[in-house]
Amino acid sequence: MVRRRTAPLLLALMALALPCPAQKAPKPGPGLKLPPSPNQGKGGSYQCHTKRGGNDYWVYVPKSYSEDNPAGLHLFFHGQGGQGGAPNFGQWAGPFLDRFNLIGINMQYQDGDNMNNPEGKVASAWEAVAQTIADYRIVEGRGVISSFSGGGVPFGIIQQEHANGGPPCGPPWPFCHAAPYSSNFRTTIAKCTPMSWLISVGKEEWTLANLGETQTSRMADALRDAIQGVSPDVFGWITKKGHTIEAPEVAASAEGFRRSDLAYAPFLYLPAWTERELAPLARDANGTGLGRALKAAGRLLANERLEEGLKAKARKLQEKLAARAKAIVELLKELAVQDPVLCEHYAKILLPKLGELPEAKEAREAVAEGRKAKGYAQTLALFPVFEKNFRQFFRSTGTPSPEQVPFLEQVRKIAPEKSLMGKMAAQYLLLQ
């Protein structure tokens, strides 16, 4: 039997005649890219729809946003039946959105049920993030991810998918601060991208959906990561509150973002700095070379032959770099006095960024002076014990365990009053 070979030309014609396989749309997730929508550049507050019916969201654009002042993001998942509050950004506007120039995204799941197809709700949230990034100039990595009550379900899925050494703050992980407020966040936090955390629960809601146990477990997870070198910027906020989000915890959460924003997040929108002379400086400043970039900008501006348009833009870049350096110095001087644990962690990250700038000398001196203060070394020594004891701090009713009260008293006495560990000890003792 003779086998006949199909001619190459015939094979080509047959291939052309076959129907093309349908192109699958990219699965929504971190790093999803979308084209701009008709809302591109739109101001104010407005509603958007995702591709999944009933999975909507609201956007809030702060007045501080402009093409010359790119923004970060603030993503929030409402609680069970909380979809009606999605148009309201009052709780976030002052502490976060207006203060830090963040564009708000409030998810609005019209069925009000975060546990109904949570994977689809997560996909819709990533679609909302991607569309906002497409419609505005967003510095990816300058962001907050937060939730309340049942909103912890999609938040927890996102965090679980991102754990175990995910990408650093920036594309495709646009957050540097996390805040599950009284949330049903039931997935473990482990080895995640370094971020600051505020995790809250109230004594009056302790037994509601087992929040006391699950939220303190997430606090313990984040503290364990801190001991392993991830980030000690963890505020386990526990007060007598009921099932609500209180203004003081949002304010404390915003302070956590202020710190992590300076340490972990990029701050320049790189597509705005494409000139051959400026692009390398912007990339370096967004990474670890803020000091180098600021010095390089000074050398560039000293060039008398520099074209006027480029000179004006280089001066603008220099101003942004100088403001960033100033903010870093102010933070380190503050932490040197207020929080030894955070000071040691953030100094390791931020001092190398300053390099050989004169500001670096000022910051190093402040940190060195802080280390001489009474209680500084003792506070550092207490932190691993605090983490070890944390899971034994509370009874099932939300009151401190009597055997742990002496240790909490010791922490309150030794740790600075404004340190996170000192604040937590003081809060927990008030629950007696």
Query: What is the per-residue pLDDT across 325-368, written as a single tens digit (0 to 9) for each?
Result: 999 999 999 999 999 999 999 999 999 999 999 999 999 999 99
Q: Determine contact, residues 145/155, Cβ cutoff 8 Å.
A: yes
Give the model's pLDDT for residue 315: 98
- Please check the confidence at residue 143 and state whether its pLDDT lies above 70: yes
Q: Of 419, 332, 430, whose CA–CA distance to 375 is shortest?
A: 419
Give the whole-angstrom CA distance, residue 333 versus residue 362. 9
Sign of CA dihedral 188, 51, 135, 102: negative
Q: Collapsing DSSP states into helix, strand and coil, what is residue 423?
A: helix
Mean pLDDT in residue range 125-135: 98
Q: What burial class does residue 40 get, using C-beta atoms within 10 Å of its C-beta: 0-12 exposed, 13-18 middle, 19+ buried?
A: exposed
Q: Determine contact, residues 65/139, Cβ cutoff 8 Å.
A: no
Give the model's pLDDT for residue 1: 35
Identify the residue whose tokens are 């407020």. 181
- Please check the confidence at residue 308 and state whether its pLDDT lies above 60: yes
- Please check the confidence at residue 25 and state whether its pLDDT lies above 90: no
- Please check the confidence at residue 97 and state whether its pLDDT lies above 90: yes
Q: Determine contact, residues 431/206, Cβ cutoff 8 Å.
A: no
Q: Determine contact, residues 206/172, Cβ cutoff 8 Å.
A: no
Confidence band, pLDDT 50/70/90 cuts, at residue 13: very low
Of all residues in the chain, the percent with pLDDT exceeding 70 is: 93
DSSP letter for each residue of 119-137: HHHHHHHHHHHHHHHHHS-
Give the whole-angstrom CA distance, residue 418 versus residue 429. 16
Strand (E) or helix (H) holding 367: helix 358-371
Cβ neighbours of residue 410 closer than 8 Å, sequence gap 6 or more? 382
Per DSSP, helices labelled H in 136-278 are: 152-162, 211-227, 247-264
178 or 191, higher pLDDT: 178
**How high is the mean pLDDT of the chain?**
93
- Please check the confidence at residue 12 and state whether its pLDDT lies above 50: no
Confidence band, pLDDT 50/70/90 cuts, at residue 76: very high
Kindly report which listed range (111-125, 182-196, 207-221, 361-375) carries the lowest average pLDDT score.
182-196
Give the model's pLDDT for residue 165: 65
Mean pLDDT in residue range 402-406: 98
Mean pLDDT in residue range 96-110: 98
Confidence band, pLDDT 50/70/90 cuts, at residue 28: confident
Neighbours of 418 (CB within 10 A): 12
- Please check the confidence at residue 26 and state whether its pLDDT lies above 60: no
Give the model's pLDDT for residue 167: 72
- Please check the confidence at residue 382 and state whether its pLDDT lies above 60: yes
- Phi, psi angle pair for 351, to nearest 5°: -60, -45
Mean pLDDT in residue range 13-39: 64
Cis peptide before 172, with omega less than 30 degrees from 0? yes
Give the model's pLDDT for residue 11: 31
Confidence band, pLDDT 50/70/90 cuts, at residue 9: very low
Q: Which amino acid is it at 22?
A: A
Q: Determine contact, residues 75/122, Cβ cutoff 8 Å.
A: no
DSSP letter for each residue of 281-335: HHHHHHTT-HHHHHHHHHHHHT-TTS-HHHHHHHHHHHHHHHHHHHHHHHHHHHH
Mean pLDDT in residue range 255-279: 98
Give the pairing type, strands 234-239 and 196-202: parallel
Sign of CA dihedral 208, 212, 217, 223: positive
- Please check the confidence at residue 16 and state whether its pLDDT lies above 80: no
Catalogue all structural domains in the chain, each as residue range(s) with its CATH number: 44-264 (3.40.50.1820), 270-371 (no CATH), 376-429 (no CATH)
Give the pairing type, strands 138-149 and 177-183: parallel
Q: Which two tokens stand for residue 36?
A: 């701009």
- Please check the confidence at residue 19 and state whether its pLDDT lies above 70: no
- Please check the confidence at residue 195 and state whether its pLDDT lies above 50: yes
CA quadruple 23, 25, 27, 29: dihedral, nearest 10: 140
Of all residues in the chain, the percent with pLDDT exceeding 90 is: 88
